Amino acid sequence: MNNFRETPLVLAHRGGRAEYDDNSVGAFADALAHGVRGAETDVRLTKDGHLIIMHDATVDRTTNGHGPIAEMTLAEATALRLKRCGENVPTFRQFCEVYRGRDDVDIEIEMKLHGDEMEPALLDRYVTLLHDEAAEILVAGTYAFTSFSIPTLKRFRELFPEVKLGYICGELTEQTIEEALSVGCMRIAPDWNQATGPIAVKRAHDAGLSVNLWCSNSRDIYDIVKLWGADVSTSDIPRFMRDYAVSTQSR
């Protein structure tokens, strides 16, 4: 029997933006079909109050359209097509449907709107929509809401005490560990290049946090984050990195 457990688990960063179109439903579905059981995506809010998948504040880089998402309706945003694959810009619900019924996945849902940059009522609407749509479709325990913004994470925790949260940061330090713990995060996600090695990862583990060292975009980096003890690692080339992880299982 093969008892291989992929560690660190590879998360498809925006579905694998170097292998497929950035944040497309097809990217996530294809990655999952290739055995990539982790995913990371980005969620924004249209002007009429709906959730769509998009990393940037504007649609210019990845679509055939122009302008800020915050000034578009859901119909306007989802009518746009992604440049490489031609798919329509997806809703958050469509992303979630890729993973419906899966209890073997690890999903990070990054909140691109930050509580220190928006009206409190709008922030509450945003996190409530995120919570409710995810809870309706995704299997409990398989996903976490993440952010660079402590105020956003704090408000999410206040409104929904049961949710899993993750803190995205640059450095992995005593301070960032304390910040993550202050809002009840279960994971911390520092840039691997600023994580300062296995001692810092051990500190995070000792504090009860799992660690995502991002991004593993080469064999060498994956080997480093594996050696340092990362639990998961986001990657722009998740299909390639997952295959590499499988090939090195005996190490």
Please, what sign has the CA dihedral across residues 218, 223, 224, 228? positive
Q: How open is the CA angle 184-189-118, to the nearest 5 degrees?
A: 65
Token representation of residue 233: 């690692």
The three-class DSSP label of residue 169 is strand
Residue with tokens 């179109």, as numbered in its chain:
21
Query: DSSP letters of 14-38?
Result: TTTTTTS-TT-HHHHHHHHHTT--E
Token representation of residue 203: 């500190």
Q: Where are the strands (E) in the chain, listed by range?
A: 9-13, 38-45, 51-53, 106-111, 143-147, 165-169, 187-190, 210-211, 232-235
208 vs 212: CA distance, rounded Å: 13
Q: Are 153 and 167 in contact (CB under 8 A)?
A: yes
Any catalytic annotation for residue 13?
yes
Pairing of strands 51-53, 38-45: antiparallel
Residues serving a catalytic function are 13, 55
